[in-house]
Amino acid sequence: MINGKKVCVVMPAYNAEKTLQKTYDEIPKDIVDEVILTDDASKDKTVHVAEQLGIKTFVHTENKGYGGNQKTCYQEALNHGADIVIMLHPDYQYTPKLITPMASMIAEGIFDSVIGSRILGNKAMMGGMPFYKYASNRFLTMTENAIINQKLSEYHTGYRAFSRKVLETIPMLENSDDFVFDNQMLCQTLYFGFDVGEVSCPALYFDDASSISFSRSVTYGMGVMQTALKYAMAKYGVGHFNIFNPNGKKLSTATTQ
């Protein structure tokens, strides 16, 4: 807990048995009140490892996709009374040691959301990011900033923190269940007027770290551009889209302790 705010870490997991414990061990338990993992029908022992570690675990009997997994994660965080929710991949690609500063920036009312940027600090390629991923990240970020009139260093990190108000406000359930979910959610946060901060975050790329294929990356890139164009059109009143509709489908705000 920070400044009276309950802090919850959510982990969308798929085949993460080899890296889950290492990730969990570095979570700062002195400020994190709850850790929730949603297993997206893994084919390994992710659920067993999570239960052995005492992590509150929810299991999809069928794979719902990366975005579908996160929807469950965020819903369960709200159900358990979280005021601040940090999404952390259980594959140890992002260091859990940044949870404290990210959560603090929200708890102190400085930002509504905080992302861990791999671009700030020039450490992306040092951590092993393939050049084509780095180049596409920079291109997509530059283009997206121009289209939606923002100045983030990147939109594609999987490390992010949100206030409860953000999660209750954005129509998250209108988003894709695929990888573009991350981009849609961040754009929604900006669209609805929330302040987004960034911290420099090193990222590691290794065999057991999750990564999407080149073809999936192309699909993701196309989805990113489509999301940015919808954002701009909605802002200028020349288009109406469910993901930017304040009356769109949202998470339930009921709390069950």
Rounded-to-integer distance, Cα 150 and Cα 18, Å: 38
Rounded-to-integer distance, Cα 224 and Cα 227, Å: 5
Torsion of the alpha carbons at 17, 40, 211 and 174, rounded to the nearest 10: -150
Q: Which of the two residues, 79 and 256, has the higher pLDDT score?
A: 79
Q: Which of the two residues, 66 and 126, has the higher pLDDT score?
A: 66
The closest of 205, 212, 214 to 91, measured between CA atoms, is 205
In this structure, which topology does domain 7-240 adopt according to CATH?
Spore Coat Polysaccharide Biosynthesis Protein SpsA; Chain A (3.90.550)
Neighbours of 227 (CB within 10 A): 26
Neighbours of 97 (CB within 10 A): 11
Give the confidence band of 214 by pLDDT, cuts at 50, 70, 90: low
Torsion of the alpha carbons at 67, 72, 78 and 84, rounded to the nearest 10: -40
Mean pLDDT score across all residues of the chain: 92
Give the confidence band of 208 by pLDDT, cuts at 50, 70, 90: low
User: In the chain, what percentage of residues exceed pLDDT 90?
Assistant: 80
Give the confidence band of 18 by pLDDT, cuts at 50, 70, 90: very high
Average pLDDT over residues 18-41: 97
Give the confidence band of 174 by pLDDT, cuts at 50, 70, 90: very high
In this structure, what DSSP letter does residue 9 have? Answer: E
DSSP strands (E only) in 92-195:
113-117, 160-163
Average pLDDT over residues 86-92: 96
- Tell whether the torsion through CA atoms of 195, 216, 67 and 16 is positive or negative: negative
Could you tell me the residue ranges of all domains in the chain?
Answer: 7-240
User: Amino acid letter at 207?
Assistant: D
Can you state the angle between helices 181-191 and 214-235, rounded to 10 degrees?
20
The closest of 112, 115, 143 to 231, measured between CA atoms, is 143
User: Amino acid letter at 154?
Assistant: E
Q: In this predicted structure, what is the pLDDT of residue 210?
A: 54
Q: In this predicted structure, what is the pLDDT of residue 106?
A: 98
Give the confidence band of 255 by pLDDT, cuts at 50, 70, 90: low
Return the ∠ at Cα 22 (arms to 74 and 16), rounded to 5°.
55
| Contact yes or no for 23/50 (Cβ under 8 A) | no
pLDDT digits (tens, 9 = 90+) for 92-110: 999 999 999 999 999 999 9
Rounded-to-integer distance, Cα 100 and Cα 184, Å: 25
Sheet with strand 84-87: strands edge to edge = 56-60, 34-40, 7-13, 84-87, 160-163, 113-117, 196-200
Q: Is the pLDDT of residue 205 over 90?
A: no
Give the confidence band of 220 by pLDDT, cuts at 50, 70, 90: confident
Query: What is the SS3 assignment for 98-127?
Result: HHHHHHHHHHCCCCCEEEEECCCCCCCHHH
pTM passes above 0.85: yes
Q: In this predicted structure, what is the pLDDT of residue 121?
A: 72
Q: In this predicted structure, what is the pLDDT of residue 204?
A: 77
| Contact yes or no for 171/249 (Cβ under 8 A) | yes
